[in-house]
Structure 1
Amino acid sequence: MKKLSLIFGMMVLLFTTSCREIANSVLDALPPFDVPFTTNVTVPLATLSTTSYTRTPEIPMNIDLDKTIKENNPKFSINNLKSVKLNSLHMQYISSQFDTKLDVIKDAKIYIKAPNLPEKLIATALNNTNPDTITFTVANEELLEYFRTSQNSLIFEIQGSRLSADQITLKINSGFNVKVQL
């Protein structure tokens, strides 16, 4: 009798686990995917202080996730969006008017902005000394509401390692992990 109840219990456990996996696979009909964002941008770079932060003008991203979701599967749309998180962000030096490189930036904060939403801190870089690249530590923040519109942008706050003023051209590479469900 004990063997029969043990076998029956194992079968019930196996059956419920299999049903859960089937349900989850149906709900996740479109697996999570990455949306890269790369742009070259020229910004005025002014490190006016080595103790406080200076803001750069907004850098428009204008990522249209509705279009991207439909490209992955036409049955889905922005209405099926369940999660968006930043998974990487790097800045790469391209050029500047007065040969100012990225090591002029000691610390940096990056915020995301969208209409009718508060700015949200999404990445930071501390104690940068690299003249060519800055790799940011990304915050594990949910950014879903910032991508329900394609009018999204980035704002940089920088603290200088020394005083400088220049026009600098950067390449911004980032990736957003997107989850969509029925």
Structure 2
Amino acid sequence: MKQFIATLSLFALFLVSCDKVDKLTQFTITDKSSMTISAGAATLLPFDVSTPPVNSVAEKEMTMNNSRIDMIESVMLDELKLVISSPSGRTFDFLKDIEIYISADGLPEKKVAFANAIADNVTNTIRLTTEKVELEQYIKKGTYNIRTRVTTDKILNEDINIEITSKYRIDAKILGV
């Protein structure tokens, strides 16, 4: 019986140790970009809005977390937030639907986030529903593109500038572990 308890205790200790090591290899990176929805944009018809290429902070973050970009095992988008930066006081009440896509050189485009049937009582901030898609190869490229498909339900009489914040959960191998 003592041998059974000792074996069970060692097994439990091993499981707890593995969980702690897994937590050490997981962290979050935050990439930022921006886009502008131009005044006079069509209503009720989807149209595309592009952003400048995004230079990911992944390589810098990997170094700070004692790892390297080639040691990434998995990347998932945890959060995608849109905030209107100008004009001041503007809300997303003009927005009906939005879809966000990611692409990178040599990789296919993937839908990563969306919001449908957006209510008129929203503020200047929206958190989109994220898709559960693997993004490891896109982040490893260092630079990627974001394309936004937007449908509005109001005519815009001024340009709307939007800041995009993407939070990615990284699971990587740690050097020496």
| Structure 2 match to 1:178 | 170
Q: Identity of paired residues, percent? A: 23
Tell me how far apart the structure 1 counterparts of residues 100 and 154 of structure 2 sit (CA, whole Å): 20
> What code does the residue aligned with 1:93 have?
I
| Structure 2 match to 1:58 | 51
Do structure 1's residue 16 and structure 2's residue 16 form an aligned pair? no
| Structure 2 match to 1:83 | 74
1:47 CA drift (Å): 3.8
| Structure 1 match to 2:108 | 118
TM-score between the two structures when normalised by the length of structure 2: 0.82
Q: Which runs of 5+ in 2 are unaligned?
A: none
Tell me how far apart the structure 1 counterparts of residues 40 and 141 of structure 2 sit (CA, whole Å): 30
What RMSD, in angstroms, separates the aligned Cα atoms of the two structures?
2.5
Equivalent of residue 145 in structure 1, options 104, 112, 137: 137
Tell me how far apart the structure 1 counterparts of residues 26 and 90 of structure 2 sit (CA, whole Å): 39
Q: Secondary structure at the match of 2:159?
A: strand
> Does structure 2 conserve the Cα–Cα contact (< 8 Å) formed by 1:30 and 1:181?
no
Equivalent of residue 27 in structure 2, options 30, 33, 49: 33
Q: Secondary structure at the match of 1:16?
A: helix
> Does structure 2 conserve the Cα–Cα contact (< 8 Å) formed by 1:95 and 1:169?
yes
Q: Which runs of 5+ in 1 are unaligned?
A: none
Tell me how far apart the structure 1 counterparts of residues 23 and 79 of structure 2 sit (CA, whole Å): 25
Tell me how far apart the structure 1 counterparts of residues 11 and 136 of structure 2 sit (CA, whole Å): 32
> What code does the residue aligned with 2:107 have?
L
> Does structure 2 conserve the Cα–Cα contact (< 8 Å) formed by 1:92 and 1:134?
yes
> Does structure 1 conserve the Cα–Cα contact (< 8 Å) formed by 2:35 and 2:51?
no
| Structure 1 match to 2:126 | 134
1:45 CA drift (Å): 5.9
TM-score between the two structures when normalised by the length of structure 1: 0.80
Tell me how far apart the structure 1 counterparts of residues 77 and 167 of structure 2 sit (CA, whole Å): 6
Q: How many residues are treated as equivalent by the alignment?
A: 171
> What code does the residue aligned with 2:25 have?
P
Do structure 1's residue 93 and structure 2's residue 93 form an aligned pair? no
Deviates more, 1:142-151 or 1:160-169: 160-169
> What code does the residue aligned with 1:54 have?
F
